Structure 1
Amino acid sequence: MGQKAIVLFRACTPLFQALSDSYRQDIIVLLADKEPLTVNEITEHLTLSRPAVSHHLKILRDQKLVSMEQKGTQRFYSLELDHAAALLKELVGTIENHCE
């Protein structure tokens, strides 16, 4: 397990960091309930400023947890969990298979 697990843990570190923030967790839950949403719509549900929400959305987008679609002048954000879920499943599977 050693080297493969270490490589997977290192690959997951930025994802863990993105998920560790409670505001980003709130955004993920909000998008799970009401996607797609604009920055302004997300801001209405949180106690953050619009620039702060945009900052958190950028971090989530960088980790491929959220996608953005431009429609006219509006940007709509949605969850995009396939990449993160696959990476986490691989990590958990590697650990499970070697801890019997």
Structure 2
Amino acid sequence: KQRGLAERINKEDASFDVIVGGDFNEWTDGLVMRSLLKTTKMANATREKSIDHILYSTTRPIKLVETGRDWGPKNQNKENKKAEGCLSDHPWVWCEFEMPKIN
């Protein structure tokens, strides 16, 4: 599945900004993710150990402002523990990018 994603990403026009996120079921520092990042020349916005990732590659300067992992609005707590009724079996990943305006 990651090979197919890499092929699709690499087919994109090199002048396009690409952001891909989702549940990859592969750990942040694992061989599969390292290979995917190398093959696609993308960066991983997810800094914590996770199986969910947000990958990005841009032709213009982009600033990764903030990243995080949590269980979502219903489950906010200091310990970041799952609560009943959570939509996922693991914390969500999120990030904020700062991108320059295109003229």
* Alignment TM-score, normalising by the size of structure 2: 0.28
Question: Which has more strand, going by share of residues?
Answer: 2
Question: Which has more helix, going by share of residues?
Answer: 1
Name the structure, 1 or 2, with higher relative contact order (CA <8 Å, separation 6+): 1
* Alignment TM-score, normalising by the size of structure 1: 0.28
Larger Rg: 1
